[in-house]
Every structure is written in C-alpha cells, then in structure tokens.
C-alpha cells in the first residue's frame, strides 16, 4: 500500500511548492500536475485494494477498504478536472483584477492543502484524525472562500467559519463520547479511537453513550454536509467564492462529512441493535430535501440556486443511507458519484457564463447558446442530468431511492416526489431563459476549455446506461460494509 503515501504526500508537497511559486504564471500548470499525480496514485491504490483486499498502514492509523478507496478515487478525479478548469478561469479572474499575485499564491496552495485534508479524512482509521481533517478542511476552505477579499466574500467566509466551527465542536464532543464508550471495553492503553477496533467490539459498547454520541456527531458533521437547519453557510460560501472552489465544495467536501457520518452509523447500529441512527438520518435528509426544494424557487443568484440544489441532493443521499439495506446503500453511493460529477460540471459552465455576463444574477444572463454553444449546451445538459432526466445516472440512483422508499418507508415517498417535482420546475424555469433567451452579448472570441464538463457528463450518462461489472462489484462491497 505504498501508493497511499503518494496519495497523501502529493497534495501536501504541492501545497508547499505552490506556497512559494503559486503567484507565477506556471503555477496553474503545477497545480494541474500535482492533481494529476494524486489521481494516478489513487488509481494505483485502487488496483492494490481490488487485488489484495483491505489493508492497514502505519500501525493501523490508516485503513483502506472498498468504501473509502472508491471515494478517494472520485475525489482525486474531480480534483484533477477542477484544477484543469481553473487554469483559464483563474487567469481571466487575474486579468479582471480580482486576483492579485498574493491571492493566486494563496489560492493554489490552499487548493492542494484542501485536497490533502479531504484525502486524509477518507483514509485515516482514527476517528480523532477524521475530526482533525474536517477542521483543517474548514480552515483551508475559509481562506479559499474569502480569497477575493470583498465585503460579501469576507462575510460568507466568516459565517462559514463560525457555523462550521460550532458544528465541528459538536462532532468533537461526539468523538469524546465514543472514546468513553470504547475505553470501558478496550481499556485506556489500547487504541480506542481506531474505527476497526471499535467495529470489532461495537456490540459491547454502551448503547446509551452511543445514542448520545451519534446525535452529536450527526449534528456536527451534518453542518458540514449542509443538512437543514444547519445549512445557512453553504449558499453564501458557494456564491461568494471562486467557481472552482464552489465545484469542489459541492462535489467533494460534502462527501467527506457524509463518509464520517456513515462510519459512525455502522458503530451505532451495532451497539443499539435498532435503526435509531437511520431514523435520525431519514428525518434530517427528508427535511433537507423538502426545504431546499422550496428555497430553490426564491433564488436569483445562479450559484446560490445550485448551492441549494446541493443541499437537496445531500438530503436525498442522507435519506437513502438512513433507510439502509443493500439497495438503498447502493443507491446512495451511486448518487454520491453522479452528484459529484454532474454538479461540478454545472459549476464549470456557470463559472464561464458569469464571467462573460459580469454578474451572477440569472435575470441578466441570457442567450448562452448564442454567446457560446459549448457553455450553453453544457449547462443545459448538466441541468437535465442533475434534475434526474433519463438516461443519466442521477435518474438511476433516484429511481432506486424512490422505489425503495415506496416499499420500506411509504410515508416519506409523497414528500420526496413533491420536493423533487418542485426542484425540477424551479431550476428548469430559470435555466431555460439563461440558455435560449435573447441576448446582446457578443460571442466569445475563443471557446473556453470545457473538456472537463463533457467528460463528467459522459461519465454520468454512462453510469445511467451501464455500470461495468467491476464497478458494480465495488458498489456492492461498499454497500455491504454499511450494513443496515
């Protein structure tokens, strides 16, 4: 498992290099190069796990299994494509005077450090280190959100820091409670925060302490996921930060917090022998889907609208994992994948659209199909995909979630159908004029680099039509690890 050292070392070294050279013109290429190296080593790690099975590294402090190696691969892939997208995007931002050399150095170094914190959270076996990784991810993204140094971006970063700081403090208390429960069984001298150790003795853990611990952990990490009513930082952070930051926030960071919740849910289910954790997740998930869907209809800023769409989809994923079982867990993992791919692709197109229009107000963005057909069609296809139109992968995962809910949680199915219908209408009615409306803007002189957009959308389409046997087996193994 030597590949893991490169997976974690590549972004960490990249952050150090770009802290020194991030203001230079070639820094954009260095950022892409380190992201590519991280992705390639993640692929090598995946091959090792598939061939050799789960493995421990560094005195059991790191643990790789089908669940987290799948998320590591997804994270490094989207991190690479976002780095490619940010090359022309951030150059234009610098030409417009929004990014100074010092800010470019901060952006590039924090981008790599942010990647490192996410990968650390996914691969560590220590629940305490997961908490540290989430806190570090918060600090790096605060700097990324505020990089423009405008009043609005500083306010959004401050709100993000305060709310997520309070949330992560709740997660810390939940982690401490887990330690208390484990110490009674394992003793103080043993590694009581290693997830694999806790998983081995989860049936012996005090159910009362575990109930309280999971409540705090769900609230704490749920703040990072953006679950309602802990979501208010997310639209502001998406709207005011650079678009590449919005893409990785929506497509990647939310997955890390969800992963932490899932690991804790496995322990809680084993200790209690009931579905208490799943019921809490279903409640928060259903509330998030419903509230976010109705908030979508009130948005005027395009990035805020898609931020609320992320809240809706993360709520749907939370609901799926709350139901548990092989089908719902499979659907939740599939939805995490396609949401990361499609939502980041949408933010790529939105970034170019807002740069050309000079505004994020949807009422002032018109006729993208005439300004640049690639941007216009990219946004339109991306929206169709994220709204669950067949045959995209979002349709397949939503179909599995809804049919499972109709069978196992019929009381929730009407709310899910209503919320998804409201979200469909709210987004489509705003995007159609943006793409096909009349405009006085001139076509772009040079087409933007949107290869990452169509790569993401093609992958989302492929996952809706056919899941290769090895990838299907991957999902099945990961879903079985979550139990339920």
Tell me, what's the pLDDT at 392? 94
Is position 108 within any domain?
Answer: no
pLDDT of 32-52, one tens digit each? 999 999 999 999 999 888 888
H or E, element range at 130: helix 127-145
What percentage of the chain carries pLDDT values higher than 70? 97
Which residues of the chain fall below pLDDT 50? none
CA distance linking residue 66 with residue 52, whole number of Å: 11
How many domains is the chain built from?
A: 1
Asked, for residue 369, whether it belongs to a domain, the answer is yes
Q: What is the pLDDT of residues 114-165, one digit of tens each?
A: 999 999 999 999 999 999 999 999 899 999 998 888 888 889 889 889 988 8
- Residue 68 falls within a domain, yes or no? no
Whether the CB-CB separation of 206 and 181 falls below 8 Å is answered with yes
406 found inside a domain: yes
pLDDT at 191: 62
Which domain, by its residues, includes 337?
275-484
The Cα 209–Cα 178 span in angstroms is 7
- Whole-number pLDDT of residue 190: 62
Beta bridge partners of 56: 63
Within-domain flag for 53: no
Angle at 327 between CA 224 and CA 417, to 5 degrees: 70
Helix or strand (DSSP H, E) at 381: helix 373-386
Q: Is residue 99 in a domain?
A: no
The half-sphere exposure of 441 on its side-chain side, counting CA atoms within 13 A, is 25
- Kindly state whether residue 374 falls inside one of the protein's structural domains: yes
Residue 155, domain member (yes or no): no
Q: What global pTM score does this model have? A: 0.94
- Return all residues near 59 (Cβ < 8 A) that are at least 6 apart: none
By CB neighbour count within 10 A (0-12 exposed, 13-18 middle, 19+ buried), where does 433 fall?
middle
Could you tell me if 32 and 84 are in contact, meaning their C-beta atoms sit under 8 angstroms apart?
A: yes
Render 184-213 in DSSP notation, one character per residue: HHH-TTS-TTBHHHHHHTGGGS-HHHHHHH
With 0-12 / 13-18 / 19 or more C-beta atoms within 10 angstroms meaning exposed / middle / buried, residue 371 is buried
């Amino acid at each position: 498992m030597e590949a893991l050292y490169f997976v974690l070392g590549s972004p960490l070294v990249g952050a150090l290099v770009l802290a020194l050279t991030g203001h230079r013109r070639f820094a954009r290429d260095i950022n892409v190069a380190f992201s590519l190296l991280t992705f390639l080593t993640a692929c090598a790690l995946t091959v090792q796990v598939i061939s050799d099975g789960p493995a421990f590294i560094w005195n059991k402090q790191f643990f790789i299994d089908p669940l987290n190696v799948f998320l590591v691969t997804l994270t490094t892939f989207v991190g690479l494509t976002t780095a490619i997208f940010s090359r022309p995007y951030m150059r234009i931002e610098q030409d417009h005077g929004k990014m100074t050399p010092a800010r470019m150095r901060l952006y590039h170094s924090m981008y790599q450090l942010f990647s490192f914190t996410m990968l650390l959270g996914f691969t560590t076996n220590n629940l305490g280190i997961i908490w540290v990784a989430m806190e570090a991810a918060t600090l790096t993204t605060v700097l990324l959100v505020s990089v423009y140094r405008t009043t609005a971006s500083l306010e959004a970063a401050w709100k993000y820091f305060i709310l997520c700081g309070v949330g992560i403090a709740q997660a810390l208390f939940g982690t401490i409670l887990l330690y208390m429960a484990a110490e009674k069984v394992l003793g103080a001298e043993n590694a009581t925060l290693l997830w694999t150790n806790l998983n081995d003795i989860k049936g012996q853990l005090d159910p009362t302490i575990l109930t309280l611990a999971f409540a705090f952990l769900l609230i704490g990490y749920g703040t990072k996921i953006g679950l309602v009513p802990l979501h208010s930082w997310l639209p502001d952070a998406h709207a005011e930060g650079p678009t590449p930051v919005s893409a990785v926030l929506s497509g990647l960071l939310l997955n890390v917090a969800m992963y932490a919740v899932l690991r804790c849910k496995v322990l809680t289910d084993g200790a209690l022998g009931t579905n208490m954790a799943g019921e809490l997740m279903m409640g928060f998930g259903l509330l998030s889907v419903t509230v976010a869907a109705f908030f979508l209809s009130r948005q005027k800023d395009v990035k805020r609208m898609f931020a609320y769409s992320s809240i809706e989809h993360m709520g749907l994923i939370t609901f799926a994992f709350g139901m548990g079982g092989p089908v719902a867990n499979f659907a939740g993992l599939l939805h995490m994948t396609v949401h990361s791919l499609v939502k980041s692709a949408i933010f790529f197109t939105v970034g170019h659209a807002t740069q050309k229009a000079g505004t994020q107000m949807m009422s002032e963005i018109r006729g993208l199909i005439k300004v640049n057909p690639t941007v216009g069609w990219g946004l339109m296809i991306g929206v169709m995909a994220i709204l669950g139109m067949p045959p995209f992968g979002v349709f397949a995962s939503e179909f599995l979630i809804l049919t499972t809910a109709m069978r196992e949680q019929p009381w929730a199915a009407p709310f899910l159908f209503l919320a998804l219908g409201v979200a469909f209408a709210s987004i489509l009615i705003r995007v159609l004029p943006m793409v096909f409306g009349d405009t006085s803007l001139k076509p772009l002189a040079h087409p933007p680099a949107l290869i990452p957009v169509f790569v993401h959308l093609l992958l989302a389409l492929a996952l809706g039509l056919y899941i290769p046997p090895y990838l299907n087996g991957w999902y099945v193994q990961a879903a079985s690890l979550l139990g339920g």
